[in-house]
Every structure is written in C-alpha cells, then in structure tokens.
Amino acid sequence: MISLEVNNLTKVYPDGTKALDNVSFKVNPGEGVVLLGHNGSGKSTLFRCITSFEKPTSGNIVIDETDITTLSKSKLRPIRKKVGMVFQHFNLINNLSVFQNVLFGALGHTKTSFHTFAPFASEELRMKAMDCLDRVGLSHFAKRRADQLSGGQQQRVAIARMLMQDPEIVLADEPIASLDPKAGREVMDLLWEIVQERGLSVVSILHQMDIAMEYGERIIALKKGNMIIDESVKKLDRAFLDTLYHQEDFTETEGEKAGA
C-alpha cells in the first residue's frame, strides 16, 4: 500500500501560463478522492505531473516514499507502473482486439509497440489479461475489435487494461464525461468496487457534483491552479460546493499568466 504526496507543486508552461500554483495534498492508501475544478483550472496538468509526463516548475511529488521529480528514467519506470490511468476518451487502440488492448496494459507507460511485445507475451500474462477482462464482465468480447463496443464497454476495457498493470494508485481523468448517465454510473460503480476490493487509492476528476459527493470520501478543488478545497465529503455542504462551483470566477477558462 502506497501513498501519494504532492508538495508545493507549481507548474508554469513555457508560454508563461501558471497552471498550478503551490498545490499540496496527500492521498492515503485506499482513499477515494474526487478532484473538482472548471476547465483550465489545472486538473489534467496535475495528473500529468504525477505521471511524470510534465516536469513541475517547483515542488515535488512523493510516491511510495520516493520523490519522483528527481528520479532518472530507469528508476522512474517501476514507480510509474504503480499509477494506473483511466481517460475520458478511453484511449484504446481501435484496430486491436479487446484482449490485445488489455494485454497491452502489462507494458504500463512505455513506448514499446504492441507488435513488438505481443508475440513474446507469456501464457501467464495472457491468462491474467483474461482474468482482468472477466473482472469487468467483458471476457465474451475478448476477440472483438475495441471500436466495436459501446462507450461504456470501452471504458470497462480501459479499466481492465489499467488493472493489468497492477497499479496501487488510480488516476481517472473525467472517466464518465463521454458516457450517458446510466453507462456513467455503471463505470463509476465498477471502478469504485475494484479500487475498494484491491485497497487502491483513487483520484478521479469529475464534473458532476452529485456523483462527486456520492463516490468521493474527500474532495479537492482547484481554481485557477490554486487549491481552494481539501475536505472530507462528510464535512462539505452541498449548497456551499454549488456556490463555489458556479461562481463566475471559478469558471475561468484561461490559466493565470505567471507574474501577471
């Protein structure tokens, strides 16, 4: 069981946009956190820093008691594998089968192509991929092309692919934003069931307040790159959250320019 710590994280993009401004929080093992904030508030930037796809301007990120911002690429790889991602648009490879997409999850965040990897995938990995597909209730679609599934089914395949990587922390970037309400709830139920049964930590970006309060144990909210809420859901009042979320200056689409 590992924890995630974000300490005084600031990210200024080369064009001067300050996407994150001194953000700090900790996610304990097994905790379910919802990350709120309107367009451009820095949510995806935060996730990209945690997965090391962006380098923070200052501050650090500690995963499993290791500061990942100073690690070499080779030392970073095993830690990156502990962080599983689920995306709004599923990010499946459309012309591969459902099974192949899940098997691909074993690679984690590397650039190896599937065609280089697949012929060498062991029987053990193949069985594991089927188990992961089974867990999301889709083993009967194993041979189907990924793009021949509904959106909700594709997101379930993406969850199976994420499980294949044996993550300990799950980051979900608007996992239900492309789904209708029924499919969205099914995906949230499945994701939350899985993270709970495995004791994983999850941070999920959501825009639906009802869902956020129903599933999250804790809510973190960003506004123009600043953290404005970090509170247990039990202590948060829905009306207060609604006011904050609907305030006009909370719906800014532009990040702050550094030094502006």
Ligand X SMILES: Nc1ncnc2c1ncn2[C@@H]1O[C@H](COP(=O)(O)OP(=O)(O)OP(=O)(O)O)[C@@H](O)[C@H]1O
Task: Look at the block and give the residue holding tokens 């692919």.
Answer: 161
Question: What residues numbered 1-40 form the site for ligand X, per CB under 6 A?
Answer: 13, 15, 17, 19, 37, 39-40
Closest distance to Mg ion from the beta carbon of 56 (Å): 17
**Contact partner at residue 19 from Mg ion, ligand X, none, CB < 5 to 8 Å by partner kind:** ligand X
Q: Is 119 helix (H, G, I), strand (E, B) or coil?
A: helix
Using the minimum distance from each CB to ligand X, give the nearer residue, 37 or 175: 37
HSE, side-chain direction, 13 A CA sphere, residue 223: 12
For residues 161 and 93, the answer to whether their CB atoms sit within 8 Å is: no
Among 32, 59, 216, 255, binds ligand X (CB under 6 A): 255
Among 42, 105, 152, 167, binds ligand X (CB under 6 A): 42
Distance CA 234, CA 250 (A): 23
Instruction: Specify whether the backbone of 199 is left (phi greater than 0), alpha (psi in -120 to 50) or beta.
Output: left
Distance CA 229, CA 84 (A): 24
**Contact partner at residue 223 from ligand X, Mg ion, none, CB < 5 to 8 Å by partner kind:** none
Among 6, 45, 128, 221, binds ligand X (CB under 6 A): 45
How many residues of this chain bind Mg ion (CB under 5 A)? 1
Closest distance to ligand X from the beta carbon of 245 (Å): 12
204 binds Mg ion (CB under 5 A): no
Per-residue exposure over 202-213, b if at least 16 CB sit within 10 Å of its own CB, e if not: bbbbbebbebbb
For residues 41 and 222, the answer to whether their CB atoms sit within 8 Å is: yes
Using the minimum distance from each CB to ligand X, give the nearer residue, 9 or 146: 9
How many residues of this chain bind ligand X (CB under 6 A)? 14
In the stretch 18-37, what mask flags binding to Mg ion with x, by CB under 5 A? --------------------
**Contact partner at residue 80 from Mg ion, ligand X, none, CB < 5 to 8 Å by partner kind:** none
Distance CA 111, CA 241 (A): 40
For residues 47 and 171, the answer to whether their CB atoms sit within 8 Å is: yes
Question: What residues numbered 37-76 form the site for Mg ion, per CB under 5 A?
Answer: 44
Residue nearest to ligand X (CB): 255
Vertex 55: Cα angle to 83 and 223 (nearest 5): 85
Question: Contact residues for ligand X (CB under 6 A)?
Answer: 13, 15, 17, 19, 37, 39-45, 254-255
